[in-house]
Amino acid sequence: MSGPRPSPGGDNKGPQQITILLVDDIPETRENIKKLLAFEADMKVVGGAGNGREGVEMAKDLKPDIIIMDINMPDMDGLQATSLITKSVPQAAVIIMSVQDETDYMRRAMGAGARDFIAKPINIDDLTNTIRTVYRNHEAIRKQYQMAQFTTPDQAMKQAAKIEKTLGERAGRVIAVYSAQGGAGVTTIATSIATLLMNKGVRVMVADADLQFGDVAAFLDIKPQATIMELLPDADDLDPEHFDNIISTHGSGLKVLAAPLRPEMAEVIIKGRPSVYGQIIEKVRRNYDYIVVDTSHALDDVAIGVFDIADIIVLVTTCGLTAVKNTGLVVDLFKQLGYGPDKVMLVTNKVYSERDRKNATLPVDKINGYLKMPVKVEIPIVDERTLLAATLRGVPITIAERDRSKPPVKQYADLSKLLVEALADEDDDLAALVEVKPEKKPGGLFRR
Ligand SMILES: Nc1ncnc2c1ncn2[C@@H]1O[C@H](COP(=O)(O)OP(=O)(O)O)[C@@H](O)[C@H]1O
Ligand SMILES: [Mg+2]
């Protein structure tokens, strides 16, 4: 390196470039990633390390924004390195690289402080999307530490508290998916939109609040390592960090809070302390950008507890007369509970085409009229086999079917988009709040 002292992030980086350190024991892998990233104007690879120990040293020297870390390496593996970096260079965000069958290892890496992961072999879109998302999500922490170098400890503390508060207010959005009737497609919709929301590296959990017959884990072919039952004893002083490590992770990265394994176990919660479910969600919502809650059709206190803290309730109805009538009762109840029109998003599922309808179900305009509420998305009825094939693979249809123009994936994508828009903050610009205004000229780092 030239010059007297390298500035953090490397010398000749552009004004807004994301600086990246690659840690992988295979030189070709580092070379390949570097080549891929060379085409991204907003990114710059500032170094490469061949094992965890070297990675930690280079992270301390270079203070990159992002570290792409392999898991299996000689000398010091990615897990240990991530843990050390998280402590000694907190402004750097670690992204773990893993092959499919390393999910358990990967989960531990996330526990060690990694911010996200990408699957090997590397796909360039995944890689760049993940880097940008992690960079953005890590902004508050990064700025807090950069600033600490130039302000008094007192100022830094105040600023950190302010950031903390904003992050608190940005607590994850809770989306409850509910239908008055079983079998309407709630679980299918909840898991589908959860995976779509997660698409850009955003942290998403799906929580199964159908405590008696919840089947999210089965749907996703997960053998839950811990369910809601294991959390109950510590519900009152639940540690959100700890929580993220004990719940299950789907191969896609989706976090899953599974329902009890047997229906009678649910009684403990339903009869004893139904509000605890909503309280647990409330406590951990800061861990995630979105929490999608799959609710049972029983309108019990567990469900109401979830609805109360939800930002939006996706109300699913099929188009039969009874289903729509029952949905009407729910719409009334929601009004009584004081949920405004913005809180409820009506969706019809298993909608027949006009040609196939044959008066067996109500047309959507009738449903609109009857419920006095617009249907936001109409999900068509599809061949059950299409959905089943995905379920057999243990993934939602949104993962099995990559073509987003095909029903019902298109409609799930439309719904996710509506949700993201509805839940976006008007002043979601954390960057503006944590804008660093150092008193002394810091010599280069914040040149604009
Ligand atoms: N759009 C759809 N077209 C056809 N079948 C569907 C559709 N959505 C869901 N299903 C099927 O309906 C059944 C019930 O779905 P599920 O999501 O388990 O409902 P719930 O959670 O509301 O009980 C499943 O077999 C599922 O594959
Ligand atoms: Mg269900």
Per-residue pLDDT reduced to its tens digit, 139-189: 877 776 766 555 555 665 566 566 555 555 567 899 999 999 999 999 999
Domain 18-137 matches domain 171-420 at the CATH topology level? yes
Q: Which of 128, 106, 108, 105 is nearest to 117 (CA)?
A: 106
Q: What is the mean pLDDT of the chain?
A: 84
Q: Which of 181, 188, 316 best tests ligand 1's pocket when mutated (most atoms within 8 Å of CB)?
A: 188
Q: pLDDT at position 116, please?
A: 84
387 Cα nearest atom in ligand 1: 27
CATH class of domain segment(s) 171-420: alpha beta
Range of 190-199, 206-215, 241-250 with top mean pLDDT: 206-215
Q: Does the pTM exceed 0.75?
A: no
Does a cis peptide bond (omega within 30 degrees of 0) precede residue 438?
Answer: no
Helix ranges restricted to H, 208-284? 216-219, 228-231, 240-246, 263-267, 276-284
Q: Which of 206, 327, 361, 387 best tests ligand 1's pocket when mutated (most atoms within 8 Å of CB)?
A: 387
Q: Where are the domains of the chain?
A: 18-137, 171-420
Burial 160-197 (b: 16+ CB within 10 A, else e): beebeebeeeebbbbbbbbbbbeebbbbbbbbbbbbbb
Does a cis peptide bond (omega within 30 degrees of 0) precede residue 121?
Answer: yes
Distance 184 CA to ligand 1 centre (A): 6
User: Average pLDDT, stretch 44-64?
Assistant: 95
Which residue's CA is the nearest one to ligand 1's atom 5? 384
Which residue's CA is the nearest one to ligand 1's atom 26? 185
**12-21, 181-190, 206-215: the lowest-pLDDT one:** 12-21
Q: Is 436 a residue whose pLDDT tops 50?
A: no
Distance 293 CA to ligand 2 centre (A): 11
* pLDDT tens-digit readout, 367-409: 999 999 999 999 999 998 888 888 888 888 988 887 889 999 9
Q: Is 447 a residue whose pLDDT tops 50?
A: no
Architecture of the CATH domain 18-137? 3-Layer(aba) Sandwich (3.40)
User: Average pLDDT, stretch 208-222?
Assistant: 93
Q: Is 3 a residue whose pLDDT tops 70?
A: no
User: Average pLDDT, stretch 72-101?
Assistant: 86
Question: What percent of the chain shows pLDDT beyond 90?
Answer: 51
Which residue's CA is the nearest one to ligand 1's atom 14? 183
Higher pLDDT, 157 or 253: 253
210 Cα nearest atom in ligand 1: 21
User: Average pLDDT, stretch 422-445?
Assistant: 49
